[in-house]
């Protein structure tokens, strides 16, 4: 491709809407443009890069015997009602009606569609196992789309679904996808961590996420040197124990001391000796719920909704007015003699003589003890953070930011039972055992940029780059033009290396800046040395450059390209299934 014919609308300035590096650079380098908040148009360079990511994914999926199909993004309400997710999925589900008033959604995921397809087309045990996948646009009605491709209303995703006759078969399918995903993210040159994960709205009984490590990530990875790693929503830790001889319950004045920090300072007790009491209201259960945990801990909302078996949008913290209507006082609430449901974090039962709200304005209890003074459902409800203690080895946990680029699930019979997706054998009909496996294709694009950029722009890994080589004549005329054209034709036609020739009538400095921003892996600069058979050869990663003779340039370039193909970098932190 000649640059004069290529749409590459690079920008000098950072767009106001962009904050994180991938969003800034993909806009500045002319890979995409915003249509509306959370929706983007991919320009030629962006689309080619996405297609290269898709090809890496297809190669590894096909190796494992998965078969590609393409389903509609438009999904009928009836299928979602069969699975029970039409109401439960929440406001992120984009719903619409046709002219006949029939209801549909734009799919954020495709469990129902694949299950419906297989129940209609697969009948016999002999047709299993089966793994089907697609690469397709998904939709999610995000309240606040942000960070470019990281959290959008429209995104490109690879999703696949395995169908087996039993749990043993699912274990094999799950392991196959774990291996395929590891190979995919290795070949995408991503540094990543595999972690235990919550199953969320997809459901199932086990899940792992593939997290690209990045300070801009919205997810927090909790891990330990012993090998334990989990998404913060799923992570657990050892409970602390502060057991001591029980003291007599007392009530004390705490005027206007409403926060944990206020009470800790006023009573001169550590926050870990205070019972923090939060009141929630569940719209689904139509009831108030008090959650109690130690004062220096935070509530893990995902653990809470999993315990309650509700969706995240079906619960919220009670307002001050709602707390008043319960006859309580905000800042002074506690679980003693309470008439609403109480859930206690498990650490509470190992902690004696706690400070907690007395349910009287400006008063707290001191020396409150579980069972003697208050009771409730005991659940692991706390959010695990760095320096909490690893439940496997007893050492302090660490944390790191990450971007979720892939997730695999053991769905079991969640969808096959509710939707009657069965196979037939000599004993009759049996529900298929399912797995689900997703990769964020557009999010992977952004994640690669987050890990491969510098102050000059993007530095694409070779296998992902929209083009491998760019030839940059400092002036496109005379001997420079003659040699550049010859090399361009040879690389494209004889060597089948996708190459750009920058034939634009622009100053050399402008061209250099453009290609450093865009990030093509190899640059061949045809300059004033061409009369002496000298070229400048630049590798984008690290901007390493040297002079190379015209007789040697093809050999040198092909060696670098071959080396990068044959030795994909292994960037994964090793975490094995079951560890």
The string of pLDDT tens digits covering residues 516-527 is: 999 999 999 999
Q: Which two tokens stand for residue 574?
A: 């090793």
Question: What does the pLDDT look like over 40-69, one tens digit per residue?
Answer: 999 999 999 999 999 999 999 999 999 999
The residues of the chain scoring below 70 in pLDDT are 201-204, 567-579
Rounded Cα–Cα distance for residues 542 and 79 (Å): 52
Residue 161 burial (C-beta neighbours within 10 Å; 0-12, 13-18, 19+): buried
Supply the pLDDT for residue 566.
72
Task: Indicate the pTM of the whole model.
Answer: 0.90
Q: Which two tokens stand for residue 58?
A: 């297809």
What is 69-135 written as a DSSP string? Answer: ----SEEEHHHHHHHT-TTTS-TTSEEEE-TT--EEEE-S--HHHHHHHHHHH--BGGG-SEEEEEE
Q: What is the 3-state secondary structure of 38-83?
A: CEEEECHHHHHHHHHHHHHHHHHHHHCCCEECCCCCEEEHHHHHHH
What is 463-477 written as a DSSP string? Answer: TTSS-SEEEEESSSS
Distances (CA, A) of 254 to 66, 329, 330, 356: 64, 13, 13, 11
Rounded Cα–Cα distance for residues 113 and 110 (Å): 5
Q: Computed over its alpha carbons, how large is the radius of gyration of the chain?
A: 29
Rounded Cα–Cα distance for residues 303 and 411 (Å): 19
For 432-492, strand residue ranges (E) read: 433-440, 453-454, 457-458, 469-473
The C-alpha angle with vertex 299 and arms to 298 and 305, in degrees rounded to 5, equals 165
Mapped onto helix, strand or coil, the DSSP state of residue 571 is coil
Bond into 519 cis (ω within 30): no
Span between the terminal Cα atoms of the chain, in Å:
49
- Domains within the chain, CATH numbers bracketed: 17-190+412-451 (3.30.930.10), 250-379 (3.90.960.10), 467-566 (3.40.50.800)
**Burial call 86-114: b when 16+ CB within 10 Å, e when fewer:** bebbeeebbeeeeeeeeebbbbbbbbbbb
């Amino acid at each position: 491709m000649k640059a004069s014919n290529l749409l590459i609308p690079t920008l000098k300035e950072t767009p106001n809407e962009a904050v994180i590096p991938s969003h800034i650079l993909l806009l500045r380098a002319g890979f995409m443009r915003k249509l509306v908040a959370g929706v983007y148009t991919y320009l030629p360079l962006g689309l080619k890069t996405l297609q290269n990511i898709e090809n890496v994914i297809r190669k590894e999926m096909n190796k494992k015997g998965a078969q590609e199909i393409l389903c509609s993004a438009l999904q009928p309400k009836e299928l979602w009602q069969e699975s029970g997710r039409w109401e439960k999925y929440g406001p992120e589900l984009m719903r619409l009606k046709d002219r006949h008033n029939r209801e549909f959604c734009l799919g954020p995921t495709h469990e129902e569609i694949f299950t419906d397809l297989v129940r209609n087309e697969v009948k016999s045990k002999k047709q299993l196992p089966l793994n089907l996948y697609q690469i397709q646009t998904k939709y999610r009605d995000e309240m606040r789309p942000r960070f470019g491709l990281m959290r959008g209303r429209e995104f490109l995703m690879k999703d696949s679904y395995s169908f087996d006759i039993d749990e043993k078969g699912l274990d094999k399918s799950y392991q196959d996808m774990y291996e395929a995903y590891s190979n995919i993210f290795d070949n995408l040159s991503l540094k990543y961590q595999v972690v235990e994960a919550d199953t969320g709205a997809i459901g199932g009984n086990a899940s792992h996420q593939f997290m690209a490590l990045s300070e801009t990530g919205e997810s927090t990875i909790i891990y330990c040197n012993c090998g334990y790693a989990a998404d913060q929503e799923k992570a657990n830790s050892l409970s602390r124990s502060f057991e001591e001889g029980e003291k007599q319950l007392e009530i004390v004045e705490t005027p206007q001391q409403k926060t944990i920090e206020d009470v800790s300072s006023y009573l001169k007790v550590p926050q870990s000796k205070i019972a923090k009491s939060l009141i929630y209201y569940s719209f689904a259960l139509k009831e108030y719920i008090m959650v109690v945990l130690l004062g220096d801990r935070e509530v893990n909302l995902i653990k809470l909704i999993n315990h309650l078996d509700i969706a995240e949008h079906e619960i919220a913290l009670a307002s001050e007015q709602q707390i008043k209507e319960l006859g309580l006082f905000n800042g002074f609430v506690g679980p003693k003699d309470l008439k609403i449901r109480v859930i206690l974090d498990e650490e509470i039962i190992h902690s004696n003589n706690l400070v907690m709200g007395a349910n009287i304005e400006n008063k707290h209890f001191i020396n409150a003890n579980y069972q003697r003074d208050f009771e409730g459902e005991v659940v692991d409800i706390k959010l695990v953070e760095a320096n909490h203690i690893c439940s496997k080895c007893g050492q302090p946990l660490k944390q790191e930011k990450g971007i979720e680029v892939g997730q695999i699930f053991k769905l079991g019979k969640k969808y096959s039972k509710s939707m009657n997706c069965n196979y037939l054998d000599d004993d009759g009909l049996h529900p298929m055992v399912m797995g689900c496996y997703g990769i964020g294709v557009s999010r992977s694009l952004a994640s690669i940029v987050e890990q491969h950029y510098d102050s000059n722009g993007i530095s694409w890994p070779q296998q992902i780059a929209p083009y491998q080589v760019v030839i940059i004549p400092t002036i496109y005329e005379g001997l420079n033009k003659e040699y550049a054209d010859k090399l361009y034709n040879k690389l494209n036609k004889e060597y089948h290396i996708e190459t750009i020739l920058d034939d634009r009538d622009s100053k050399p400095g402008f061209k250099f800046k453009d290609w450093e921003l865009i990030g093509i892996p190899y640059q061949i600069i045809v300059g004033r040395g061409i009369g002496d058979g000298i070229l400048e050869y630049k590798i984008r990663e690290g901007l390493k450059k040297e002079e190379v003779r015209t007789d040697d340039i093809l050999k040198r370039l092909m060696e670098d390209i071959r080396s990068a193909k044959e030795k994909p970098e292994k960037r994964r932190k090793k975490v094995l299934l079951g560890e």
